[in-house]
Amino acid sequence: MSYQNILTEKKGNAFIITINRENKLNALNIETLQEIKYAILSVQNDREVRGIILTGAGQKAFAAGADIAEFAEFNVKQGTQMSSDGHDVMNTIESSAIPVIAAVNGFSLGGGCELAMSCHIRVASENAKFGQPEVNLGLPPGYGGTQRLIQLIGKGKSTELLLTADLIKADEALSLGLVSKVVPIDTLMDTCKEYIQKISQKSPSAISKVISCINDHFKGTEAGFEKEISEFGLAFETSDFKEGTSAFLEKRSPNF
């Protein structure tokens, strides 16, 4: 399959997916997310692939969020569909039988942070920054952020980050357990490949069972994910959403 927004490459036993919208800081439009999903699914039966690396083009951003220009005119129905489809992509990544490693090479914000959190392991470059700034746009997170951030770093700190929209640097993300390692950007991909090299020595069937068991630990949290989709959709009929997205596109601060 040929892709418009991502690059894919097989290197040894690693399958590398690169979000390729560098001039938009790898913002995740709907087509990009669908391409990521299909790329992940395309290697599930490839016995040579023992790990997938997901990264962003350039040295500034992993992904700076969902594409604000694309959804700024959406209504409740479209917003709800966008969130529901995004959840499906994140769930596909999280349930991949082959481990997915996020090589976070810069801004990992909003949908970009949610994308990284759906991966099994996160490695950050020293310049990486994480955050869920959706409340600046009059929205709650819509791709699982309200749920997976709590799963990864706990209720207290995640509530703070979700309410303030504060961005955190890579070293703080490491201390919170949001990422496994912080490395210089030049060694980011090699570090991810080392993980895959190590994992490739293990039993693939056991690896997939571990992933499945870990995911089952969080079964029962569906209500939170469903609530997020519904609240995200409903936000699209608010004046705050109009003000927040207009402010971003007009390059000014919102006035709520």
Which residues sit at the interface with ligand COA, rule CB under 6 A?
A: 24-25, 27, 64-69, 107, 109-111, 133-134, 136-137
Instruction: Name the residue nearer to ligand COA (CB basis): 35 or 67.
Output: 67
Instruction: Name the residue nearer to ligand COA (CB basis): 134 or 228.
Output: 134
DSSP state of 185: G
Residue 131's Cβ-count burial label (10 Å; 0-12, 13-18, 19+) is: buried
Q: Which amino acid is at 79?
A: G
Q: Give the integer Cα–Cα distance in Å for 156 and 13.
A: 39
Other CB atoms closer than 10 Å to residue 200's CB: what's the count?
18
Instruction: Name the residue nearer to ligand COA (CB basis): 69 or 214.
Output: 69
Backbone dihedral angles phi then psi of residue 236, each to the nearest 5 degrees: -70, -10
Shortest reach from residue 167's CB to ligand COA, in Å: 8
54 beta partners: 17, 102
Shortest reach from residue 24's CB to ligand COA, in Å: 4
Q: Half-sphere exposure of 5 toward its Cβ, with a 13 Å CA cutoff?
A: 20
Shortest reach from residue 65's CB to ligand COA, in Å: 3
Instruction: Name the residue nearer to ligand COA (CB basis): 99 or 142.
Output: 142
Shortest reach from residue 218's CB to ligand COA, in Å: 23
Q: Active-site positions? A: 114, 134
Biggest alpha carbon–alpha carbon distance for the chain: 54
